[in-house]
Structure 1
Amino acid sequence: MKKLQDAFRALYNGDNIVKITKLRYMPRWLVIVIDILIILFSIFLSRLFLKNLDVEVHFPEYTLQKRLILIGLNILFMYVFKTYAGIIRHSTFFDFFKIILSSGSTLICLLIISYMTEVTMGQSLFLYPNLFLYFLISVSIMFFFRMVTKQFFNIIVDIQGASSKVKVAVVGVGEASVAVARAIMHNPNYPYRLEGFLTGRSDSNKALLLGHKIYNKNEFLISEKLVKKFDAVLLIKEIMTKQEIEEWMTLALDKNLKVLKAPTLSKMRDSDLVGGISNLQIEDLLNRKPISIESEEVMRRHFGKNVLVTGGAGSIGSEIVRQVSQFNPSLIVVLDQAESPLYELELELLEKFPGQKFKFVLADISNRYRLEKLFEDYHFSMVYHAAAYKHVPLIEDNPHEAIFVNVLGTKNVALLSKKYKVNRFVMVSTDKAVNPTNVMGASKRAAELFVQSLQNTPGHPTKFITTRFGNVLGSNGSVIPHFRKQIEKGGPVTITHPDIIRYFMTIPEACELVLQAGTMGNGGEIYVFDMGEPVKILDLAKRMIRLSGYTPDVDMKITFIGLRPGEKLYEELLSNNTVTIPTHHEKILISKDPLMEFEQIEYLSKHIILAAVKRDRLEVVKILKTIVPEFISNNSEFEVLDKETI
């Protein structure tokens, strides 16, 4: 009531804009009063029709009583079905249905009364045509009143917020596009305003959709006047191919428009964002089609089992934990030496999977005694070994640390898996292990060789499996978050070399393939994943800059800082002359890399660990080059060791 008074006071005092949107809803008593007035008007109209048609009315002496009966029954059923309880500005078909029920019940009661008076008194109290006419008029006007009120509120809200709203053009004219457009129109609190539709089709130019024009892509390309109607282009990612997304993104950015994305309407309801709409990210252009995994086999390997994930608080390890949690294992032991990330993951998992049993272990995999107690206590069925040092420049400066974690740590976890008869040991490796040019990649290749060599040693049922893939989007220290931070700071965006290229894969995609590969083979295999087409990092940076609303080298400078020690221009997933064998999964291949006997790799690993303990950098790398003969240093102080062998 106070809100209504405020609105009228504002009008009386001469404010330019009545703050009608401050009214949360129209008071219920006012809705009832208006509905009663509609009833009286409907009685008058129906009576007027009969009068003009010269229809004789039964019992004219009871006209007042008849009207009171009609009004009383209507009010009774309006109360029963709560036709006044809904918020008018958000009326839906359900509200219309309640009006039908209320007026229909009134009609049925009046028909019964008329029939009873006809039987007892020889004439019906109400004329039957008059009752049906009244029903149609009253229902129509009540519904019309609600629709007009709803539209009035929407127009007022739209006018008041027009200057601050983003004017969007929805791409597509299919069901999903229409559903998203309708959601924008019917939610005045959204910071977006629908201005039209864009399509590649040429048969819809003269058609209207939800009262808005449909514009053809070619028309959009040549008409600057048309472009000025919009602030942004809205894409629905789930219904578009990667090529279509890129085409519309390029078109929008060329016209200096923002590029927004929206999920389908079913996902919008669950989104934390306003309506599920957000800025298009570079990850959306790099994503590929969802991977299908044989979930039944993966489920069988994990259901009711004890699982260990080393490096469980890292980017890959934590996603493996999340995905394994869906298969209801008896226990997941999450091991990591990073205290804060491990604690944050614990809080997340306990909230997300309240029924799953976890144990969070703070430990270093280079400490065998600490690890062995875990193997003794929990009898793991699956071990996912994701713990590793992975940053190329840091490891190039600290090669002994790579040996402690990537070689000794892997050796500890693998030997304990063998000793305690773990069913499957799955190691997460990297494309940098292929023809390595840096210590990090070489240390991972040495770890691969050790894991493979264990498969042929006697006395264990364990299947030792290695998975190898490239860069993952959004992982700790990866290039995309780094570029994003630089752009947020205003630049410059730094790239090591204009020709550098990389493969990319999403974290969930990579982990799904890790889980799938863990169920395959007889052990000893190195599985490589289909990483799609490589991406030029310079092109990636330019796209990210443009998606952020800047022009590369105009608003945001790109600088080249030179290759870092040990860095390659491009990464490889396969060694030179490596034979690959397809598997039943189209995204997974087996790489037939050279093997090393266990006795040989065990001997060399002991020596390299001893050199690492002594902090003898050159000796560490020298032995590493013996273990991995294809390891040729690039842009590094260790290139001198390669010259000695020539």
Structure 2
Amino acid sequence: MTILNQRYLPRWAVFLLDIFICFISFATMFLILDGTPLKPHTVWPTPLRGLFLISINVIFFYLFKTYAGIVRHSTFTDIFKVASSSFLTAISVITFNYIYFLFTDQKIFLTTGILLYMFFSFTLMLFFRIAVKEAYQYLKKFTTGKLKKRVVILGMDDQTISLGKALTTESNLPYKLVGFITENQINKNLKILNKPVFSVPITNTSNEFTELLAQHNLDGVLIVSESLSIKEKNQIVEACLANKVEIFNVPLVEHWNRKEDIQTQIKPIQIEDLLERSPIEMDIGLIKSDLYGKTILVTGGAGSIGSEIVKQLAVFSPKKIVILDNAESALHEMELYMNQNHSGLNFTIMLADIRNLERMEMLFAKYKFNMVYHAAAYKHVPLIEKNPHEAVYVNIGGTINLANLSVKYNIEKFVMISTDKAVNPTNVMGASKRAAEMYVQSLQDHINTNTRFITTRFGNVLGSNGSVIPYFRKQIAYGGPVTVTHKDIIRYFMTISEACQLVLQAGTMGNGGEIYVFDMGKPIKILDMAERMIRLSGLKPYEDIDIEITGLRPGEKLYEELLNDTSTSLPTYHSKIMVSKVPTVDYTEISIKIQEIVAISQYGKGKEIVKKLKELIPEFLSNNSEYEILDLQKHL
């Protein structure tokens, strides 16, 4: 293992080194003053003065978490924390010194000594961080020379041999290819690219595999995407982690962008690569015929889900795609992406808000859409719990605007993106999405409705804005702690690509009014995910990176459901898509109730809005929220 394999200097090590620097600073201050006419006060013995001063400094270390950052990535914020702890230590001790003087007419510390201590301790801690940062950068550059990670490649086929050729011909890469590993029985003297081929069982992570890692002093194992199943990857990852060997994931060679970009293609394996997901099979022909020659509106088109829907629609070359969002910066990024990757596609970027009915009507009249994919929504549970007005305006009111216009302009198909949080909702966000589902369902059966309203419902999406995995990754990068709301909380996960593939497939189904739910696989315990992500980062949970249980957030529940208690699900011709048979509410009845909710949201308080939502959705029971009192009042 090279020095660089230690990804982060442990927090306890930084903490102890900073304390050691404090002792050095106090000793230096004492020696300097000892050679001057300024003599320290002798009310307290020198060791006690030093212990007191350093203890105050340690308290501020803890308060400012000066040890929590990654030293080699120290920023101005980290330096500011160190400076603040030193400055406040000096202020606190000087204040204590003068208070002591007022009561006893004696001083414990020389003010000059305290200021010298502050200067020395801050300077040395700053120098320590700069030295580590510069040393790491030097060692990182040095890896292109003598220090290279010794790696093996799993598998022996055209893909792995192409990868091996790239590693052996590019001298500036920080990897040294030791050989290939295969489970096939081969001649022991077989070599590829003049590198040995090791024949050992790998899928059951045998002792032979572990011994091979140790015998050849391996630093890393390279896995080519799609060469192994998820189950096999997990077995190998566990064996490598147990032996402190890094695991790298490499895309198929034909997916590499540029030859000179090989190093960026080799990345540490991520938690997303290890979640057990079977591949999605799409009926490409059916989707293509459904989208051919169509003008399509995608709302929320710059968001996580909406942008992926746009990217997948672009493959089928519809007549025109209008990408609508009210997030200016994200929409600009989307435009740059489309110009770079789909310049031949007829698309329009539209900055607009679905709450603005007049603006929406102008667009419907101008573009004469054939289809609408409605992905625009507010989705962050704790934030919406504090702002129920906005949930009503966007998730309900915005959906009503689009749905009514779809009927008025004879849109062929309206596909709405919903959420598992709409099932037996425990928060305002889920309730607002359930209300939107109920409205479009009732509209389907309304007189003179030719539009097919289709609702798709799924759980958490990996890598989406605000999702848990990027959040954990940032917390690990900052040195922790990683925060989990409850030790038993579980969630369903699906990749953005998978979710949007199923959205397009579900859009080809049914006669309208259906709610389609997706097979989300097995639920995942969030605490287990956090622990594994820390281990994949080369660290130890609870030692290098702590995990804190913070308590459920407002409106959050331990597990999500895809069907409510009274629902039944029926299979479709696609194994991963089921149709939920949810009773439809009368259009007139729900219209009146929703109009009341919208009217109250313009001037009413949060509790009044939520109370009306609970009347509309009887199964809406608040959890860990200020609105729980409304449920108690209802049963009195």
TM-score (norm 1): 0.73
Taking a change above 3 Å as real, the CA distance of residues 533 and 408 of structure 1, as seen in their structure-2 partners, is same
The more displaced of 185-194 and 499-508 is 185-194
Distance (Å, rounded) in 1 between the aligned partners of 2:183 and 2:389: 58
Aligned to 2:618: 629
Aligned to 1:183: 166
User: Which runs of structure 2 are paired with 1:42-441 in the superposition (5 Å)?
Assistant: 161=144, 163-200=146-183, 207-209=190-192, 210-214=194-198, 216=200, 217=202, 218-220=206-208, 223=211, 226=214, 229-268=217-256, 272-274=261-263, 276-286=265-275, 288-441=277-430
Select the structure with the greater relative contact order (CA < 8 A; seq sep ≥ 6).
Answer: 2
CA contact 2:186–2:199 (8 Å) conserved in 1:
no
Q: Secondary structure at the match of 1:374?
A: helix
Deviation string, structure 1 residues 576-620 (Cα, Å, up to 9, x no partner)? 142111111111000111221101110110000011101321111
Taking a change above 3 Å as real, the CA distance of residues 423 and 312 of structure 1, as seen in their structure-2 partners, is same
CA contact 1:237–1:245 (8 Å) conserved in 2:
no
CA contact 1:190–1:275 (8 Å) conserved in 2:
no
Q: CA deviation at 1:383?
A: 0.3
Answer yes or no: is 1:529 the counterpart of 2:518: yes
2:602 partner amino acid: V
Distance (Å, rounded) in 2 between the aligned partners of 1:364 and 1:227: 62
Q: Secondary structure at the match of 1:564?
A: coil
Aligned to 1:481: 470
User: Which runs of structure 2 are paired with 1:537-556 in the superposition (5 Å)?
Assistant: 537-556=526-545
CA contact 1:195–1:229 (8 Å) conserved in 2:
no
Aligned to 2:89: none
Taking a change above 3 Å as real, the CA distance of residues 175 and 429 of structure 1, as seen in their structure-2 partners, is same
1:170 partner amino acid: I
Distance (Å, rounded) in 2 between the aligned partners of 1:287 and 1:424: 33
Aligned to 1:604: 593
Q: Secondary structure at the match of 2:498?
A: helix
Answer yes or no: is 1:592 the counterpart of 2:581: yes
Q: CA deviation at 1:335?
A: 1.1
CA contact 1:287–1:505 (8 Å) conserved in 2:
no
Q: Secondary structure at the match of 1:559?
A: strand
Instruction: Show structure 1 runs of 5+ residues with no match.
Output: 1-158
- Percent identical among aligned pairs is 51
2:195 partner amino acid: G
Q: Secondary structure at the match of 2:146?
A: helix
Deviation string, structure 1 residues 359-392 (Cα, Å, up to 9, x no partner)? 2222111111110011111111000010100000
Q: CA deviation at 1:170?
A: 1.3
Deviation string, structure 1 residues 488-521 (Cα, Å, up to 9, x no partner)? 1111111001111111111111111111111111
1:307 partner amino acid: I
1:252 partner amino acid: C
Distance (Å, rounded) in 2 between the aligned partners of 1:473 and 1:204: 43
Q: Secondary structure at the match of 1:164?
A: coil
Distance (Å, rounded) in 2 between the aligned partners of 1:390 and 1:561: 21
1:313 partner amino acid: A
Q: Name the Cα RMSD after superposition.
A: 2.0
Taking a change above 3 Å as real, the CA distance of residues 596 and 274 of structure 1, as seen in their structure-2 partners, is same
Q: CA deviation at 1:227?
A: 5.1
Aligned to 2:489: 500
Taking a change above 3 Å as real, the CA distance of residues 554 and 613 of structure 1, as seen in their structure-2 partners, is same
Distance (Å, rounded) in 2 between the aligned partners of 1:463 and 1:258: 51
CA contact 2:182–2:197 (8 Å) conserved in 1:
no
Deviation string, structure 1 residues 444-488 (Cα, Å, up to 9, x no partner)? 000000010011012132100000000111100000110011111
How many residue pairs align between the two structures? 488
1:185 partner amino acid: T
Distance (Å, rounded) in 1 between the aligned partners of 2:429 and 2:217: 53
Distance (Å, rounded) in 1 between the aligned partners of 2:610 and 2:470: 31
Q: Secondary structure at the match of 1:426?
A: strand
Taking a change above 3 Å as real, the CA distance of residues 439 and 163 of structure 1, as seen in their structure-2 partners, is same
CA contact 2:304–2:496 (8 Å) conserved in 1:
yes
Distance (Å, rounded) in 1 between the aligned partners of 2:599 and 2:332: 33
Aligned to 2:107: none
Q: Secondary structure at the match of 2:445?
A: coil
Q: Secondary structure at the match of 2:415?
A: strand
Distance (Å, rounded) in 2 between the aligned partners of 1:229 and 1:350: 47
Deviation string, structure 1 residues 54-105 (Cα, Å, up to 9, x no partner)? xxxxxxxxxxxxxxxxxxxxxxxxxxxxxxxxxxxxxxxxxxxxxxxxxxxx
Distance (Å, rounded) in 2 between the aligned partners of 1:274 and 1:332: 36
1:321 partner amino acid: V
1:457 partner amino acid: H
Distance (Å, rounded) in 2 between the aligned partners of 1:307 and 1:389: 22
Distance (Å, rounded) in 2 between the aligned partners of 1:212 and 1:221: 15
The more displaced of 248-257 and 263-272 is 263-272
CA contact 2:248–2:267 (8 Å) conserved in 1:
yes
Taking a change above 3 Å as real, the CA distance of residues 211 and 618 of structure 1, as seen in their structure-2 partners, is closer
Distance (Å, rounded) in 1 between the aligned partners of 2:600 and 2:567: 31
Q: Which has the larger Rg?
A: 1
Distance (Å, rounded) in 1 between the aligned partners of 2:284 and 2:211: 50
The more displaced of 613-622 and 421-430 is 613-622
Distance (Å, rounded) in 1 between the aligned partners of 2:509 and 2:485: 38
Q: Secondary structure at the match of 1:167?
A: strand
CA contact 2:568–2:580 (8 Å) conserved in 1:
yes
Distance (Å, rounded) in 2 between the aligned partners of 1:616 and 1:205: 77
Aligned to 1:459: 448
Deviation string, structure 1 residues 145-190 (Cα, Å, up to 9, x no partner)? xxxxxxxxxxxxxx99563221101122344333322332233232
CA contact 2:443–2:449 (8 Å) conserved in 1:
no
Distance (Å, rounded) in 1 between the aligned partners of 2:233 and 2:373: 36
The more displaced of 362-371 and 384-393 is 362-371
Deviation string, structure 1 residues 343-367 (Cα, Å, up to 9, x no partner)? 1111111221111122222211111
Distance (Å, rounded) in 1 between the aligned partners of 2:456 and 2:434: 12
1:183 partner amino acid: A
Q: CA deviation at 1:565?
A: 0.5
Aligned to 2:499: 510
The more displaced of 163-172 and 232-241 is 163-172
1:476 partner amino acid: N
2:375 partner amino acid: A
User: Which runs of structure 2 are paired with 1:1-16 in the superposition (5 Å)?
Assistant: none
Distance (Å, rounded) in 2 between the aligned partners of 1:422 and 1:225: 61
Distance (Å, rounded) in 1 between the aligned partners of 2:478 and 2:432: 35
CA contact 1:237–1:261 (8 Å) conserved in 2:
yes
Distance (Å, rounded) in 1 between the aligned partners of 2:320 and 2:481: 47
Taking a change above 3 Å as real, the CA distance of residues 490 and 188 of structure 1, as seen in their structure-2 partners, is same
Q: CA deviation at 1:644?
A: 1.1
